[in-house]
């Protein structure tokens, strides 16, 4: 009985606060190659979602830094670039400035709604959210983000995980 | 325990994060707040489309589209400001309110809808996705609620006096002091620099302390006359500002500056008759500050001189004083304003006197001649109301000129059924003539005003009739632009001071639906 109540409470809580994976799933985003995003594969490591567009100057400025961050952390970090932009413009920009993480597209209204859901009520770009390995939001950035800011957060998170592992 | 530790690991960077934000999302506006469009039918085929752009935000010219029934309309853009974007190179943007004219190949009605697409950014480094808004052509803004708070109705025209004076006296005075400091960096005070320098440079080998005190005395003269002007306005309700713009006053000042300039060129030396001089010298020996009095008077004259240049802030202060009848607050406010304005002059006073002894005779002469030129330019500037109208094109025929309340009433009666713009004008008012030359002839303005009956309320003569006109509208002087609707009802909204074309168009009252 008690176990069931706990389960129910957990489910309710989960329903109230959807994980970023569920949010991404609902937005039905596609990769540049037009295949759907497998949001389940994102679980278990920190996730950075970066909303951008090719017409947004500060976005263009920060993307090489995000690519460097991805290189640095390799398999231990997922970065997703979500473009509020036309496919052709995105492709043209990425040809000039390639990035090593997936860039996703979708319909504007859907992406806009997703962005607001993830805390960007003012809908300005760039906008970046960092989630921990459990899908909890750690930080959000309006405007140009710097790799050091994200790195500091990721490092302290890794340190926290290590100390947790030691105790166990 | 480890849970607590984990929490701490998360908390520390989170606390640091407050400073790490590139842009504070709390102060950021939503795109519909930052860019508020409205559209108004000018005639059957022309639409005036306007955006109110919040301070610190800008629109991209290239990204503006206006369409009706899925068809893009041809647009006449005003010139924007060229921004050097690190990625897009030189792009033209509109960092302020902007108005453009859209031309439709088909006949339109006020109830028709057009679609606007536009895109902009915040200077703080945030860009917004393209915005699409559907609007009717009756001048109403698409947004309500929050947008309403920001006010489509003239935000820059009349400062919110209730809020401004609501605080304690100290805060009010502090604000005026700051405002004065701000004003001192505008071109308004440039004419005063040569005066201060003349006063100080004219004196050979005086101490820095004395020159500072002289400047201080000068500023006191200026500040006290402002205070007096404010209180006099309150007490008498007369048109002080207007009186000071009278042609003969202007001519007197211009002549005074020409004389000063000639003295600087060495045509004659500014010296009082020797008997009088020795008399004053004796007086000066008895009074430690013999020259302070004259400098003080100079300050009084200077206050009068720069007054018209600062018409808008003065108008606000005088309006408040006039309404509240609070002589003390009003007087002190203007006094603080002038003190703030004069503060930078103190620097010139101190600096000028200490640097001069090191200059050689020839340099000194060159400096004097330089000041002579500046003083001549000041004379030309002061006399602007006298010569500027001569340059103006003949008064535009589109204006119907009235000179009294009765004439205005008759004109308004005739214009019933049409919206009316009343331009309160005087020949001696430089801003009025600028409006005449720069704003009204602008094609976008002409388009926007096509339906309006334009009436010019000419208060040049400053006679009883003219003063009656100003009193009727609660104005202290021209320029001002007032609006009547089709039913002959005066709009609350008014524009005071010079208005560039976009500001005038953006300032037109929204027409109630017919």
Q: Over the stretch B473-487, which tens digit does the pLDDT of each residue have?
A: 877 677 889 999 888
CATH 3.40.30.10 assigned to domain A18-167? The reply is yes
Looking at residues B134-163, what average pLDDT do you find? 45
Mutate to test the interface with B, among A60, A97, A124 (most CBs of B within 10 A): A124
Interface of A with B in 6-45 (CB under 8 A): none
* Res. B249 pLDDT band, cuts 50 70 90: low
Contact predicate B379/B254, CB 8 Å: yes
Q: Which of B228 and B384 is assigned the larger pLDDT?
A: B228
Q: Which of A18-32, A106-120, B262-276, B360-374 is the least confident region?
A: B262-276
Task: Please tell me the distance in Å from B295's CA to the nearest CA on chain A.
Answer: 54
A vs B, Cβ pairs < 8 A, gives 106
**pLDDT tens, position by position, B9-25:** 444 444 344 334 457 77
What local confidence, expressed as pLDDT, does residue B264 receive? Answer: 66
How many residues does this entry show for chain A? 168
Least CB-CB distance to A123: which of B119, B125, B129?
B129
The answer, yes or no, to whether residue B29 has pLDDT greater than 90, is no
Q: Do A145 and B31 touch (CB under 8 A)?
A: no
Least CB-CB distance to A142: which of B2, B28, B63?
B28
B135 pairs with which residues across the strands? Answer: B114
Q: Which helix (H) or strand (E) holds A47?
A: strand A47-52
Q: Which of B147-151, B160-164, B464-468 is the least confident region?
A: B147-151
Mutate to test the interface with A, among B127, B130, B131, B132 (most CBs of A within 10 A): B127
The answer, yes or no, to whether residue B272 has pLDDT greater than 50, is no
What local confidence, expressed as pLDDT, does residue B137 receive? Answer: 87
What average pLDDT is seen over chain A? 85
Mutate to test the interface with A, among B34, B129, B130 (most CBs of A within 10 A): B129
Q: What angle do CA B239, B245, B250 make, to 5 degrees?
A: 150
Residue B164, both tokens: 């401004």
Task: Please tell me the distance in Å from B81's CA to the nearest CA on chain A.
Answer: 17
Q: Which of B191 and A45 is assigned the larger pLDDT?
A: A45
**pLDDT tens, position by position, B126-141:** 888 888 888 888 877 6
Residue B58, both tokens: 């800008």
Looking at residues B241-268, what average pLDDT do you find? 66
* Res. B149 pLDDT band, cuts 50 70 90: very low
The answer, yes or no, to whether residue B146 has pLDDT greater than 80, is no
Q: Which helix (H) or strand (E) holds B179?
A: helix B169-184
Task: Please tell me the distance in Å from A126's CA to the nearest CA on chain B.
Answer: 6
The answer, yes or no, to whether residue B307 has pLDDT greater than 70, is no
Sheet containing A127-131: give its strands across.
Answer: A30-31, A103-105, A78-83, A47-52, A127-131, A137-142
Q: Which of A145 and B344 is assigned the larger pLDDT?
A: A145
Task: Please tell me the distance in Å from B151's CA to the nearest CA on chain A.
Answer: 20
What local confidence, expressed as pLDDT, does residue B67 receive? Answer: 93
* Res. B489 pLDDT band, cuts 50 70 90: confident
What local confidence, expressed as pLDDT, does residue B44 receive? Answer: 84
Residue recorded with tokens 């263009």: A60
User: DSSP letters of A68-95?
Assistant: HHHHHHGGG-EEEEEE-S-HHHHHHHHH
What local confidence, expressed as pLDDT, does residue B297 receive? Answer: 72
Quote the percentage of chain B above a pLDDT of 70.
58
Q: What angle do CA B319, B323, B327 make, to 5 degrees?
A: 90
Domains, chain B, in order of start with CATH, read 31-150 (2.60.40.1250), 161-382 (no CATH), 399-507 (3.40.30.10)
Highest mean pLDDT out of A51-65, B17-31, B278-292: A51-65
Q: Do B28 and A122 touch (CB under 8 A)?
A: yes
Looking at residues B412-428, what average pLDDT do you find? 86
Q: Is the dihedral of CA B316, B321, B323, B324 positive or negative?
A: positive
What local confidence, expressed as pLDDT, does residue B443 receive? Answer: 83
CA distance B150 to B33: 8
Looking at residues B132-151, what average pLDDT do you find? 57
The answer, yes or no, to whether residue B80 has pLDDT greater than 90, is no
Q: Do B31 and A108 touch (CB under 8 A)?
A: no
Q: Which of B310 and B294 is assigned the larger pLDDT?
A: B294
What local confidence, expressed as pLDDT, does residue B359 receive? Answer: 47
* Res. B377 pLDDT band, cuts 50 70 90: confident
Looking at residues B204-210, what average pLDDT do you find? 66
The answer, yes or no, to whether residue B230 has pLDDT greater than 50, is yes
Q: Is the dihedral of CA B464, B466, B470, B472 positive or negative?
A: positive
What local confidence, expressed as pLDDT, does residue B114 receive? Answer: 92
The answer, yes or no, to whether residue A21 has pLDDT greater than 60, is yes
For residue A143, which residues of chain B lie inside 8 Å, CB to CB? 21-23, 124-126
Q: Which of A15-24, B25-34, B174-183 is the least confident region?
A: B174-183
The answer, yes or no, to whether residue B448 has pLDDT greater than 70, is yes
Task: Please tell me the distance in Å from B13's CA to the nearest CA on chain A.
Answer: 6
Half-sphere exposure of A104 (CA within 13 A, CB side): 24
The answer, yes or no, to whether residue A59 has pLDDT greater than 90, is yes
Q: First and final CA of chain A: distance in angstroms?
A: 29
Highest mean pLDDT out of A150-154, B159-163, B256-260: A150-154
Mutate to test the interface with B, among A50, A51, A58, A116 (most CBs of B within 10 A): A58
Q: Do A57 and B14 touch (CB under 8 A)?
A: no
CA distance B406 to B469: 9
The answer, yes or no, to whether residue B153 has pLDDT greater than 50, is no
What average pLDDT is seen over chain B? 71
Q: Do A167 and B1 touch (CB under 8 A)?
A: yes
What local confidence, expressed as pLDDT, does residue B17 receive? Answer: 40
Contact predicate B30/A156, CB 8 Å: no
The greatest distance separating any two alpha carbons of chain B, rounded to the nearest whole angstrom, comes to 97
Looking at residues B344-355, what average pLDDT do you find? 63
The answer, yes or no, to whether residue B285 has pLDDT greater than 90, is no
**pLDDT tens, position by position, A39-51:** 888 899 999 999 9
Contact predicate B60/B119, CB 8 Å: yes
SS3 string, B94-112, reads ECCCEEEEEECCCCCCCCC
Task: Please tell me the distance in Å from B36's CA to the nearest CA on chain A.
Answer: 15
User: A87 at the B interface (CB within 8 A)?
Assistant: no
Residue B433, both tokens: 């003539």
Q: Do A57 and B127 touch (CB under 8 A)?
A: yes
User: DSSP letters of B356-409?
Assistant: GGGS-HHHHHHHHHHHHHHHHHHHHHHTHHHHHHHHSPS--TTEEEE-SHHHHH
What local confidence, expressed as pLDDT, does residue B160 receive? Answer: 33
Q: Do B31 and A124 touch (CB under 8 A)?
A: yes
SS3 string, B266-317, reads CCCCCCCCHHHHHHHHHHHHHCCCCCHHHHHHHHHHHHHHHHHHHHHHHHHH
User: A151 at the B interface (CB within 8 A)?
Assistant: no
* Res. B514 pLDDT band, cuts 50 70 90: very low
Backbone angles phi, psi at B84, to 5 degrees: -95, 100
User: A99 at the B interface (CB within 8 A)?
Assistant: no
Q: Which helix (H) or strand (E) holds B116?
A: strand B113-118
Looking at residues B210-214, what average pLDDT do you find? 75
The answer, yes or no, to whether residue B159 has pLDDT greater than 50, is no
Highest mean pLDDT out of A77-81, B188-192, B208-212: A77-81
Q: Which of A137-141, B60-64, B409-413, B462-466 is the least confident region?
A: B462-466
Residue A145: closest C-alpha in chain B: B22
């Amino acid at each position: 009985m008690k176990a069931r109540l706990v389960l129910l409470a957990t489910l309710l809580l989960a329903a109230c606060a959807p994980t970023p994976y569920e949010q991404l799933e609902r937005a039905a985003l596609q990769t540049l190659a037009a295949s759907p995003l497998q949001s389940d594969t994102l679980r278990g490591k920190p996730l950075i979602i970066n909303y951008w567009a090719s017409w947004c100057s500060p976005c263009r400025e920060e993307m090489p830094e995000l690519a460097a961050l991805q290189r640095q952390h390799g398999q231990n970090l997922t970065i997703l670039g979500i473009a509020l932009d036309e496919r052709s413009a995105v492709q043209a920009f990425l040809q000039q400035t390639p990035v090593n993480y997936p860039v996703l597209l979708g319909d504007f209204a859907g992406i806009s709604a997703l962005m607001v859901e993830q805390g960007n009520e003012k809908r300005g770009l760039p906008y970046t959210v960092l989630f921990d390995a459990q899908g909890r939001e750690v930080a959000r950035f309006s405007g140009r983000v710097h790799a050091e800011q994200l790195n500091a957060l990721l490092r302290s998170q890794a340190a926290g995980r290590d100390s947790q592992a030691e105790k166990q | 325990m480890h849970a607590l530790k984990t929490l701490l690991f998360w908390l520390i960077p989170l606390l640091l994060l407050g400073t790490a934000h590139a842009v504070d999302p709390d102060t950021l506006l939503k795109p519909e707040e930052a860019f508020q469009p409205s559209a108004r039918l000018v005639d059957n085929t022309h639409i005036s489309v306007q955006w109110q752009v919040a301070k610190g935000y800008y629109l991209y010219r290239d990204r503006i589209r206006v369409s009706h029934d899925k068809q893009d309309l041809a647009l006449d853009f005003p010139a924007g400001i060229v921004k050097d974007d690190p990625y897009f190179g030189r792009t033209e943007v509109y960092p302020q309110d902007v108005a453009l004219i859209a031309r439709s190949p088909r006949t339109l009605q006020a109830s028709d809808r057009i679609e606007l697409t536009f895109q902009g950014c915040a200077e703080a480094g945030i860009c917004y996705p393209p915005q699409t808004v559907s609007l009717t052509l009756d001048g109403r803004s698409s947004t309500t609620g929050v947008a309403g708070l920001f006010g489509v109705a003239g935000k820059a025209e009349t400062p919110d006096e209730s809020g401004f004076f609501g605080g304690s006296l100290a805060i009010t005075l502090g604000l005026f002091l700051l405002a004065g400091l701000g004003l001192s960096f505008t071109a308004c005070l440039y004419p005063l620099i040569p005066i201060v320098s003349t006063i100080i440079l004219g004196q050979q080998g005086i101490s820095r302390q004395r020159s500072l005190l002289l400047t201080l005395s000068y500023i006191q003269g200026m500040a006290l006359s402002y205070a007096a002007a404010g209180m006099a306005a309150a007490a008498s309700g007369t048109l002080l500002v207007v009186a000071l713009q009278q042609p003969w006053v202007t001519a007197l000042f211009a002549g005074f500056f020409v004389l000063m300039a000639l003295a600087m060129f060495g045509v004659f030396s500014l010296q009082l008759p020797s008997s009088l001089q020795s008399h004053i010298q004796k007086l000066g020996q008895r009074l430690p500050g013999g020259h302070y009095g004259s400098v003080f008077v100079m300050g009084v004259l200077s206050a009068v001189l720069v007054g018209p240049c600062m018409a808008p802030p003065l108008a606000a202060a005088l309006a408040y004083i006039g309404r509240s009848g609070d002589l003390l607050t009003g007087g002190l406010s203007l006094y603080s304003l002038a003190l703030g304005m004069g503060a930078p002059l103190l620097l010139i006073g101190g600096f000028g006197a200490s640097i001069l002894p090191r200059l050689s005779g020839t340099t000194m002469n060159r400096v004097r001649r330089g000041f002579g030129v500046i003083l001549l330019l000041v004379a030309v500037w002061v006399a602007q109301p006298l010569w500027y109208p001569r340059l103006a094109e003949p008064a535009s025929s589109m204006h119907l000129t009235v000179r009294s309340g009765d004439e205005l009433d008759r004109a308004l009666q005739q214009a019933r059924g049409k919206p009316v713009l009343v331009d309160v004008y005087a020949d001696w008012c430089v801003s009025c003539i600028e409006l005449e030359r720069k704003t009204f002839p602008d094609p976008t303005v002409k388009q926007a005003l096509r339906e309006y009956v334009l009436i010019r309320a000419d208060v040049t003569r400053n006679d009883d009739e003219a003063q009656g006109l100003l009193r009727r509208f609660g104005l202290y002087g021209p320029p001002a632009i007032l609006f009547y609707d089709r039913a002959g009802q005066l709009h609350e909204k008014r524009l005071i001071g010079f208005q560039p074309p976009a500001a005038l168009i953006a300032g037109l009252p929204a027409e109630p639906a017919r």
